[in-house]
C-alpha cells in the first residue's frame, strides 16, 4: 500500500519542484532579505517534501516527528492551527530548521491508531505573510489507515453566521459525560467558512459535538464555552478520496470553491445557561441605587430587605432573564456610606441542590458620590433635577411611539399633563390625545402613543412640562420637548411580509447586512402582514425565531437535557439567497409560509 501511495505522489512532487525552480530565480535565493523593487510576492509557500509519507503505517509512536519542507522560509502564524486528531493531552510543538517545519509531540502516540495532522491556517511565508492553504498529513501507528469521513458546518445559533475556529469532536463513548471528561476520538477546527471535514476516521457510530474551546484542552467547560450537538448518533457514509472537493485545501478568499463543498451536518453553537445559582456580583452605583447579579437566570428570591430601612422604602426590579436585580431606596434623605442588603434566596449548595440561603451584602457608597461637592461648579444638572430622555426616531416612531425613560423610579407623576400637538403642512396647529403605557420590564420606562395615525409631512411635538414628575431623590423635572416627522426621503423603500400558516409564536426581526443590529422587531402568533417602512437601499435579512414557550425571548439550549436552542430560520429567496436586496424607491412584498419554513 505504501509503495502504491508513493508512486502516486512522485509525479506531483517532481512537478511542484520544477515549478518552484522556474518561479524562484537564483537572485531571490536569500528569502530572509526581500529584493528591492519589482512586483510584490503574492505566491503562497509550496510544500516540496514531507516525512512520514502520506498514508504511512507502523509509524513510530515514541518521540514522533513530522517534517514539512517548503520552497521558501516560512513562519508559524498560529500554533493552535497545528492540530492533531485525535488530540493528545498537550498540543503539538514545533521548531524550524531552515525551510523545514518540524512538528513533534511531548507524549507518545497511541498504538494502532490513525492520526491526521492538519496545518490549515497555520503557516505563512516569511516575507510577505502569504498564507499556505493547508495540508493534512495522514499516518498510522498500526497496520491500517481508517478511511471514512464526515463533513459539515458550524454556525451561530442566533445569526446562523459560520463560526471560524470551533472544534468539532467525535466520541465513540456515547455517554452524556464524555465531552466533559475526556478528549474526543477525532477532532478538527472549522475554517473561515465554518466548514469542517473529519477525514480518515473509523467506520463506527459516534456522538458529534462542536465547542469553542477557549483553552484548547479539547474538553468542554460549560461555564465559559459555547457548545453544539447533534440530536442523534451519526455514522460516516463517505470514503476518503483525495479527489473530492471536500478534502482539498482552498484559499479562503476563493468563495465559489469554498461554498461548493458539500455539508452533511449542521451544528448550531449556543451558550448554556449556568447550572449553579449564586450571587456573583454586586455594586452600589449611586446614593440610592444598587444592583446584584446572579450566575443563572430565574433567580428565586423569597425575601429581600435592607437593614434599618423600612420595607415600603425599597423598590426592586428584575430584568427579563431574572438574573439581574436593580434596587432603589425610595427616600430622599442622605443614605449611610454603607448599606446592608439581606437576600433570602435559593442557592446551589456543594451537592448541587438548591437550598434556602440568607446572604448579607455590603454595599459601599461610590467614592465620587461619597465625596462632598467642593464648589458650585461641581454640581451637575442631574444633582438637582429628575433626569429623563425622550426617544422618538422618524423611521420607527409609528411602531415604537415616543419612549420616556427616567433615570430613577418616579414617586409622583402627572402623565395627563403631557402636551401632544402637531402642525399640518399648512402650519396649522392642533392638539391631539395620547395613551401612556408603562413598560412591563422596566418601571422607569413609559411609551406615549398618539391616538391619531401619524401622517407624512406633519410635524409632531411631545412636551413634558416643568415640575410634573418627581423621582426617589426628591427632585422634579425640567421641561423638555421633542419634535419628530415621518421620513420624507423619496428614495426610501418599504417591505411587506405576508405571513401565512403561523402555528406557534414567532419573533420576526429585520436585520442589517452584517446581522449585528435589529432594525425592527415584531412578535406574531397569527397569520398577518408586517410592514417595514422607510428602508434605505441595501441588503437586509429576515430572521424568524420560534418561541415555543411563548416567553418573548430566545431561549438557549441545554446539553445534558438534549435540548437545542430555539429554532432560528432566515427567510430564503427562490435562489437560496438569505439576503433581500432592496433598491431605492421600491415597495416590495414577500410571502412566507411559516409552517413550511419550520416543518
Least trusted range by pLDDT, from 210-214, 412-416, 555-559: 555-559
Q: Read off φ and ψ for residue 258, nearest 5 degrees.
A: -65, -40
For residues 61-79, give the mean pLDDT. 94
Q: Fold for domain 493-597?
A: Immunoglobulin-like (2.60.40)
* pLDDT score for 554: 83
CA 360 to chain centre: 35
> From CA 181, how far away is CA 392, in angstroms rounded?
53
Q: What pLDDT shows up at residue 376?
A: 53
How do residues 377-403 score in pLDDT, each as one tens digit? 556 766 789 999 999 999 999 999 999
Exposure on the CB side of residue 433, measured as CA atoms within 13 A: 2
pLDDT of 367 reads: 79
State the pairing for strand pair 265-271/148-156: parallel
Question: What is each CA distance from 273 to 45, 225, 276, 298, 542, in whole angstroms?
Answer: 45, 11, 9, 10, 26
Looking at domain 148-271, its CATH architecture is Sandwich (2.60)
Exposure of 419 in the CB half-sphere (CA atoms within 13 A): 15
Question: Burial code of 538-551, b = ≥16 C-beta within 10 A, e = fewer?
Answer: eebbbbbbbbeeee
3-state secondary structure of 17: helix
Give residue 3's pLDDT: 41
**Residues 464 and 388 sit within 8 Å (Cβ to Cβ):** yes
Q: Kindly tell me if the per-residue pLDDT of 212 is higher than 50.
A: yes
Q: Among the ranges 76-80, 124-128, 149-153, 558-562, which has the highest mean pLDDT value?
A: 149-153
Q: How far apart are CA 407 and CA 444, in angstroms?
A: 7
CA distance 324 to 319: 6
**What's the rounded mean pLDDT across residues 359-388?**
74
Q: Show the 3-state SS of 241-294.
A: CCCCHHHCCCCCCCHHHHHHCCCCEEEEEEECCCCCCCEEEEEECCCCEEEEEE
Residue 121: Cβ within 10 Å count: 23
Q: Does 174 score more than 90 pLDDT?
A: yes
The pLDDT confidence band at residue 310, using thresholds 50, 70 and 90, is: very high
Percentage of the chain modeled with pLDDT above 70 = 91
d(CA 257, CA 133): 13
Q: Please state, in angstroms and rounded to a whole number, the distance separating the CA atoms of residues 554 and 557.
A: 10
Per-residue pLDDT tens digits for 87-118: 999 999 999 999 999 999 999 999 999 999 99
Count of helix runs (H) and strand runs (E) in the chain: 6, 42
Interatomic CA distance for residues 446 and 413, integer angstroms: 11
Round to whole Å and give the CA distance between 536 and 585: 9
Q: Is the pLDDT of residue 127 over 70?
A: yes
SS3 83: strand
Q: Do domains 289-363 and 493-597 have the same CATH topology?
A: yes
Q: What is the mean pLDDT of residues 341-369?
A: 92
Q: Could you tell me if 191 and 121 are in contact, meaning their C-beta atoms sit under 8 angstroms apart? A: yes
Can you name the CATH fold of 2-140?
Answer: Immunoglobulin-like (2.60.40)
> Of 169-173, 344-348, 364-368, 544-548, which gets the smallest average pLDDT?
364-368
Q: What is the DSSP letter of 42?
A: -
Residue pair 582/542 in contact (Cβ under 8 Å)? The answer is: no
Strand runs (DSSP E) across 26-132, as ranges? Answer: 47-51, 65-70, 74-76, 83-85, 93-97, 100-104, 114-118, 123-125
Over residues 28-39, mean pLDDT: 46
Q: Residue 273 and residue 167: Cα distance in Å, rounded?
A: 20
Out of 77-81, 230-234, 299-303, 327-331, least confident range: 77-81
- DSSP-derived 3-state class of residue 415: helix
For the chain, domain boundaries: 2-140, 148-271, 289-363, 382-484, 493-597
Which one, of 318, 322, 218, lies nearest residue 273 by Cα?
322
Report if pTM > 0.85.
no
Asked if the model's pLDDT at residue 262 lies above 90, the reply is yes
Whether residue 384 contacts residue 470, with contact meaning beta carbons closer than 8 Å, is answered with: no
Fold of 382-484: Immunoglobulin-like (2.60.40)
In CATH, the number for domain 289-363 is: 2.60.40
User: Cell digits for 176?
Assistant: 452524556
Q: What is the mean pLDDT of residues 303-329?
A: 95
Exposed e or buried b per residue across 430-440, where buried means at least 16 C-beta atoms within 10 angstroms of its C-beta: eeeebeeeeee
Does residue 17 register a pLDDT over 50?
A: no
Reported as a pLDDT band with limits 50, 70 and 90, residue 75 is very high
Q: What are phi and psi of 42, to 5 degrees?
A: -120, 5
Q: Is the pLDDT of residue 206 over 90?
A: yes
Burial (CB count within 10 angstroms: exposed 0-12, middle 13-18, buried 19+), residue 367: exposed
Question: Is residue 67 pLDDT above 50, yes or no?
Answer: yes
Give the pairing type, strands 568-570 and 538-546.
antiparallel
Q: How confident is the model at residue 64 (pLDDT cuts 50, 70, 90)?
A: very high
Which pairs count as long-range contacts for 379-384, CB under 8 Å and 24+ apart, including other chains? 381/478, 382/407, 384/475
The three grid cell numbers given for residue 252, joined into one nine-digit string: 479562503
Question: How far is CA 480 from each of CA 148, 383, 390, 418, rounded to the nearest angstrom?
Answer: 70, 17, 9, 10
Amino acid at each position: 500500500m505504501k509503495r502504491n501511495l508513493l508512486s502516486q505522489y512522485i509525479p506531483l512532487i517532481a512537478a511542484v519542484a520544477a515549478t518552484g525552480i522556474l518561479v524562484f530565480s537564483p537572485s531571490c535565493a536569500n528569502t530572509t532579505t526581500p529584493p528591492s523593487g519589482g512586483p510584490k510576492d503574492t505566491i503562497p509557500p509550496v510544500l516540496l517534501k514531507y516525512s512520514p509519507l502520506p498514508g504511512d503505517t507502523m509509524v513510530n509512536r515514541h518521540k514522533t516527528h513530522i517534517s514539512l519542507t517548503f520552497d521558501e522560509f516560512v513562519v508559524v502564524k498560529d500554533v493552535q492551527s497545528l492540530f492533531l486528531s485525535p488530540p493528545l493531552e498537550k498540543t503539538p510543538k514545533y521548531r524550524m530548521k531552515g525551510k523545514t517545519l518540524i512538528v513533534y509531540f511531548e507524549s507518545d502516540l497511541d498504538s494502532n491508531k490513525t492520526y491526521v495532522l492538519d496545518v490549515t491556517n497555520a503557516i505563512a511565508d516569511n516575507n510577505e505573510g502569504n498564507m499556505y492553504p493547508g495540508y493534512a498529513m495522514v499516518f498510522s501507528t498500526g497496520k491500517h489507515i481508517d478511511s471514512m469521513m464526515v463533513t459539515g458546518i458550524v454556525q451561530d445559533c442566533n445569526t446562523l453566521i459560520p463560526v471560524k475556529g470551533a472544534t468539532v469532536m467525535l466520541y465513540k463513548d456515547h455517554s452524556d459525560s464524555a465531552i466533559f471528561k475526556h478528549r474526543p476520538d477525532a477532532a478538527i477546527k472549522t475554517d473561515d467558512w465554518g466548514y469542517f471535514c473529519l477525514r480518515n476516521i473509523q467506520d463506527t457510530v459516534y456522538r458529534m459535538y462542536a465547542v469553542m474551546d477557549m483553552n484548547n484542552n479539547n474538553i468542554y467547560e460549560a461555564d465559559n464555552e459555547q457548545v453544539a450537538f447533534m440530536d442523534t448518533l451519526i455514522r460516516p457514509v463517505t470514503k476518503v478520496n483525495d479527489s473530492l472537493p471536500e478534502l482539498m485545501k482552498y484559499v479562503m478568499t476563493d468563495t465559489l470553491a469554498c461554498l461548493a463543498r458539500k455539508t452533511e451536518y449542521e451544528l448550531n453553537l449556543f451558550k448554556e445557561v449556568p447550572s449553579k445559582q449564586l450571587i456573583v456580583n454586586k455594586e452600589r452605583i449611586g446614593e440610592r441605587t444598587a444592583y446584584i447579579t446572579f450566575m443563572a437566570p430565574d433567580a428565586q428570591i423569597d425575601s429581600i430587605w435592607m437593614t434599618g430601612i423600612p420595607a415600603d422604602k425599597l423598590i426592586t426590579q428584575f430584568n427579563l432573564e431574572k438574573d439581574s436585580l436593580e434596587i432603589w431606596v425610595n427616600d430622599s434623605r442622605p443614605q449611610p456610606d454603607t448599606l446592608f442588603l439581606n437576600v433570602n434566596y435559593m442557592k446551589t449548595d456543594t451537592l448541587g441542590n438548591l437550598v434556602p440561603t440568607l446572604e448579607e451584602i455590603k454595599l459601599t457608597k461610590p467614592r465620587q458620590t461619597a465625596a462632598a461637592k467642593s464648589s458650585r461648579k461641581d454640581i451637575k444638572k442631574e444633582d438637582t433635577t429628575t433626569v429623563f430622555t425622550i426617544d422618538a426616531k422618524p423611521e420607527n416612531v409609528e411602531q415604537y411611539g415616543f419612549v420616556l425613560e427616567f433615570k430613577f423610579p418616579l414617586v409622583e407623576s402627572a402623565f395627563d399633563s403631557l402636551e401632544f400637538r402637531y402642525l399640518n403642512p399648512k402650519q396649522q396647529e392642533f392638539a391631539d390625545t395620547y395613551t401612556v403605557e408603562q413598560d412591563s420590564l422596566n418601571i422607569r420606562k413609559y411609551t406615549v402613543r398618539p391616538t391619531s395615525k401619524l401622517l407624512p409631512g406633519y410635524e409632531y411635538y411631545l412636551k413634558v412640562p416643568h415640575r410634573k414628575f418627581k423621582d426617589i431623590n426628591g427632585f422634579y423635572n425640567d421641561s423638555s420637548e421633542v419634535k419628530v416627522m415621518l421620513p420624507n426621503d423619496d428614495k426610501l423603500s418599504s417591505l411587506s411580509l405576508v405571513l401565512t400558516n403561523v402555528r406557534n409564536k414567532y419573533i420576526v426581526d429585520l436585520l442589517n447586512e452584517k446581522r449585528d443590529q435589529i432594525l425592527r422587531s415584531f412578535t406574531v402568533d397569527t397569520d398577518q402582514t408586517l410592514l417595514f417602512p422607510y428602508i434605505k437601499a441595501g441588503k437586509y435579512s429576515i430572521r424568524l425565531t420560534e418561541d415555543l414557550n411563548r416567553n418573548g425571548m430566545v431561549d438557549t439550549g441545554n446539553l445534558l437535557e438534549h435540548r437545542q436552542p430555539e429554532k432560528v430560520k432566515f427567510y430564503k429567496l427562490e435562489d437560496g439567497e438569505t439576503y433581500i436586496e432592496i433598491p431605492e424607491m421600491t415597495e416590495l412584498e414577500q410571502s412566507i409560509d411559516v409552517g413550511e419554513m419550520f416543518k
